[in-house]
Structure 1
Amino acid sequence: MAAPVEVDGLTLDAETVALDRAHVFHSWSAQARVAPLVVAGGSGSTVWDHAGHTYLDFSSQLVNTNIGHQHPRVVEAIREQAGLLATIAPATANLTRGRAAAAILGHAPDRLTKVFFTNAGADAVENAIRLARLHTGRDKVVSHYRSYHGNTGAAVVATGDWRRVPNEYARGHVHVFGPYLYRSEFWATALEEECERALRHLERIVQCEGPDSVAAILLETVPGTAGVLVPPPGYLAGVREIADRYGIVLILDEVMAGFGRTGEWFAFDAHDVVPDLVTFAKGVNSGYVPAGGVLISSQIAATFDERVFPGGLTYSGHPLAMAAIVAAIGAMEDEGIVENAAAVGRDVLGPGLAELAERQSLVGEVRGTGVFWAVELVADRATREPVAPAVMGAVRAACLARGLLPFVADNRVHVVPPCVVTPDEAREGLALLDEALTEVTTDL
């Protein structure tokens, strides 16, 4: 382990925390309670602080470093682009931007023909909603309660979880329950029954709201922060049928689920469905430079051939972000990174988490695909009562003490390492999680 580096009597880690607590206002936090983990550097699936303490990153930060930390091909592409042209207005034509759009569309269905670039996932959702409303001339957007779509005006109101409630300033949003058999809202006892009843619920809400008033159905293909809720077979195809029946635009939010996370280029590839609009961000370039966007079907794009699209962003298609996209997608193609995510999920994470669930009494359910898994912790397996927040805090602390950086949400530990994680790293992470759960269970 490297010796702590001191500057003016403070270690760099101590200085980092001191500056952070003095000047940085943190998201989704009561500021007096923030206790940030210092991250000074990273490589692949590992990060470390200034003193050299290392952590196996099973969070991918905010589930976005799909290509891992500091991939040399992406870092070099950003450096080269900065030397050539660091920024340019979105109204210009730029070769790197065009290549980025072509690279993304190369992995999308043929009906998706254009890309509107944004700065991140939230404004991608904002603009997808805008496109749907202008295309249909309708207003309402139907989304799931168990969802997260971003922290901007319409995106946060489309979100279903608690973060929506103090931010409800946008109009025209309606929520429904999606399929979640472990905590079914439909008294279902089988997956097929849960799917059928969830689809019936969705259609009835559309009918009761007035189909002619509904512009879009907006869903995360696989709800992420809400619990990695992989939709049952037939659900998304059924949603597509409902959308088509009533002339509604189907928007699939792939901000977290896209670009390898589920072991597919797009999560919807596994569900026999093609949306009208797709939002993306995070994994498209692993967040090395902020970027997001909307994939637009040819039919919706044609709406604006002679009609002005009333939206734009100063940094839309920013050259540094576009260079990162081109390099990241190229590396994912050449190095089989999406295939690696699928294999690690199938051969290591899936079986390993199933075994962990058998041993650990706190585990109620594990679910997921690729490198996108959730471990739901319960106080009682029979009643499925979630564990208390203090238990989750103890699990997180026990993981960090062992050098495992987890993603914790509500009563769940999300197992979401980078798509480049090796089988040995995945096994190591599962072993560390197993140890942490054992410690916490013993202390209860």
Structure 2
Amino acid sequence: METLQQNKDTHMSADDVKKYDKEYNMHSWSAQRDLDPLVITKAEGIYFWDSNGKKYFDMSSQLVNLNIGHGNRKVIEAIKKQADKMPFMGPAYAVDVRAKLAGKVIEKAPPNMGKVFFTLGGADANENAIKIAKMFTGRFKIFSRYRSYHGASFGAANLSGEPRRYICEPGIPGFVKFFDPYVYREKIKFRNEEEASGFYLSKLREQLIYEGTDNVAAIFVETVTGSNGVIIPPDGYLKGIRKLCDEFGILMVCDEVMTGWGRTGKWFACNNWDVEPDMITFAKGVTCGYVPLGGVIVSKKIAEYFDDNALMCGLTYNAHPLACAAGCATIEVYDEENLIENSKNMGILLGKYLEKIKKDHISVGDVRYIGLFSAVEFVKDRETREPLVPYSKDPEGIMPSIVAMLKEKGFSTYSHESCIMIAPPLIIKKDELEAAMSILDEVLYSVDKYVKELKK
């Protein structure tokens, strides 16, 4: 068979791209045989185009990472300039863009933060945060929630609570799961958010005691639960976790891989509740995928500990110069284009559209939103709140069908359990948001029809 090296024509047709992709590429989270991936040829702003010239609204910012949109020239030029100057230097050396980006990260982080350890992405950020927590405390148990996703590498998968962890079980000893403040699905009807927080915190406190508080190194939480439904913590919940951690000498770690860098209308989601965690893990929006980068931000107290104790963490591509150059430029774009404020303002408008969708469509049980981070949760019955698909199962492919209908109309996003994500780039404008949400509204009438048929 002719190889690409043998083919003197370097241009590949769309058919060739798909052929080689199917033959040699392995796609995540999928059986490979029946995959039919779109061939993408162009991307700009909040849009991308396939090989047939069809245009799509990128309403999930790819994997909730493309905050500044496609094709930002400032970031692209910064990468080019760094590639010409010094494409790589080992992590033991001080390099200008490394130092600059570390300073920019700490400048935007909560005031108690002291230093940053850079990684390649969110999973290894969480992996290293686990290690730092164990080194700092001398303890071995790590708490995290059932409806959480912290990455697919072995340690991060053990930290995760949702079904994608199953393949990594039997797991690593010491990982303990607790329940989320998922008020919509709670059988108890709380009078207000504070009462809900009190309930969940009391159960968590009880579980910490049963596990032995002297054994617990850290409590990890997605500040706002991401792909598992954009579960927004009720008022008092995060401050309550902070209080529990202080009481028992446990580290509070906020996974802000999705929510960091303006996604919720603040630089970091924890800013919405005036909470200062001991560590923040981040990735995605720091470079918006232009070059892979993640990291762990640690408090001044933790940073001081490692002045005299070895930090047993290391990566060949720690603080990669190309990624750091991209990160510096990306943070400048957030400031220059006022994207944090735009996320907040467009998020208010998005919330209004979502509330109308919830009112108008019987298939929609709940909508949850903060900034430009939102989810639509589908149900079979609004009264019983029965999910449209069972937890961890969708044998009829209902959710992929909904995503496919949206994509057919030019609205690109993804689903998880009975939810679809709506998290457009932070650069989105009012008219663009209106046009995209009108597509969602149109498609949901078909979902309503399906739900009506189920009741017959």
**TMscore range, shorter length:** over 0.9
User: Which SS does the other structure have where 2:33 is aligned?
Assistant: helix
Query: Could you tell me which residue of structure 2 aligns to residue 422 of structure 1?
Result: 429
User: How many equivalent residue pairs?
Assistant: 436
Aligned equivalent of 1:385 = 386
Give 1:164's aligned amino acid. Answer: R
Partner of 2:31: 30
C-alpha distance in 1 between matches for 2:142 and 2:213: 11
Q: 1-side partners of 2:86 and 2:439: how far apart? A: 45
The question of 1:132 aligning with 2:133 is answered yes
- Residue 85 in structure 1 maps to residue 86 in structure 2: yes
Paired residues of 2:413 and 2:420 also in contact (CA < 8 A): yes
Q: How far apart are 1:50 and its partner, in Å?
A: 2.3
Distance 2:205 2:246 in 1: 12
Q: Does 1:221 align with 2:218?
A: no
Aligned partner of 1:114 in structure 2 is 115
Does the CA-based 8 Å contact 1:373-1:414 persist in structure 2?
Answer: yes
Q: Which of 436, 439, 443 does residue 436 from structure 1 map onto?
A: 443
Q: Could you say which residue in structure 2 is the equivalent of 1:232?
A: 234
Q: 1:4 maps to what in 2?
A: none
For residues 427 and 392 of structure 1, what CA distance do their matches in structure 2 show? 23
For structure 2, the 5+ residue unaligned runs are 1-7
Partners of 1:263 and 1:342 within 8 A in 2? yes
Checking the alignment, whether the CA contact within 8 Å between 2:147 and 2:225 is kept in structure 1 is yes
Report the CA distance between 1:428 and its aligned residue.
1.0
Provide the residue aligned with 2:252 in structure 1. 250
- TM-score, reference length from structure 1: 0.95
**Residue 412 of structure 2 corresponds to residue 410 of structure 1:** no
What is the TM-score when the length of structure 2 is the normalising length?
A: 0.93
Q: CA deviation at 1:12?
A: 2.8
2:3 corresponding residue in structure 1? none
| Partner residue, 2:56 | 55
Q: Is the CA contact (8 Å cut-off) linking 1:184 and 1:194 kept in structure 2?
A: no
* Residues 181 and 190 in structure 1, CA contact (< 8 A), matched pair in contact too: no
Letter in 1 for 2:273: H
**Aligned residue among 294, 299, 318 for 1:316:** 318
Amino acid at match of 1:180: Y
For residues 359 and 387 of structure 2, the distance between their equivalents in structure 1, rounded to whole angstroms, comes to: 18
Rounded Cα–Cα distance in structure 1 between residues aligned with 2:317 and 2:401: 41
What's the CA shift for 1:373? 0.4
1:155-184, CA deviations, whole angstroms, 9 ceiling, x for partnerless residues?
111101001122033221000002011111
* Code of the aligned partner of 1:233: D
Out of 395-404 and 130-139, give the one that drifted further: 395-404
Cα distance in 2 for residues equivalent to 1:187 and 1:106: 41
Contact kept? 1:180, 1:194, Cα under 8 Å: no
The sequence identity of aligned pairs, in percent, is 42
Match status 1:191 vs 2:193 = yes
After superposition, give the CA deviation of every residue in 1:310-354 in whole Å (9 maximum; x if it has no partner).
1100000001100010000001001101110110011x2000110
CA shift at 1:188, angstroms?
A: 4.3
Alignment match, 1:401: 408
**Runs of 4+ displaced beyond 6 Å:** none
Where does 1:4-403 land on structure 2 (aligned, <5 Å)?
12-168=13-169, 169-184=171-186, 188=190, 190-346=192-348, 348-388=349-389, 389=394, 390-403=397-410
Q: 1:240-283 deviations in whole A, cap 9, x for unaligned?
A: 00000000011100001100111110000011210011100000
Q: Distance in 2 between matches of 1:171 and 1:254?
A: 25
1:394 Cα shift?
2.3
Show structure 1 runs of 5+ residues with no match. 1-6
Quick check: 2:363–2:447 contact (8 Å CA) kept in 1?
no
SS of aligned partner of 2:298: strand
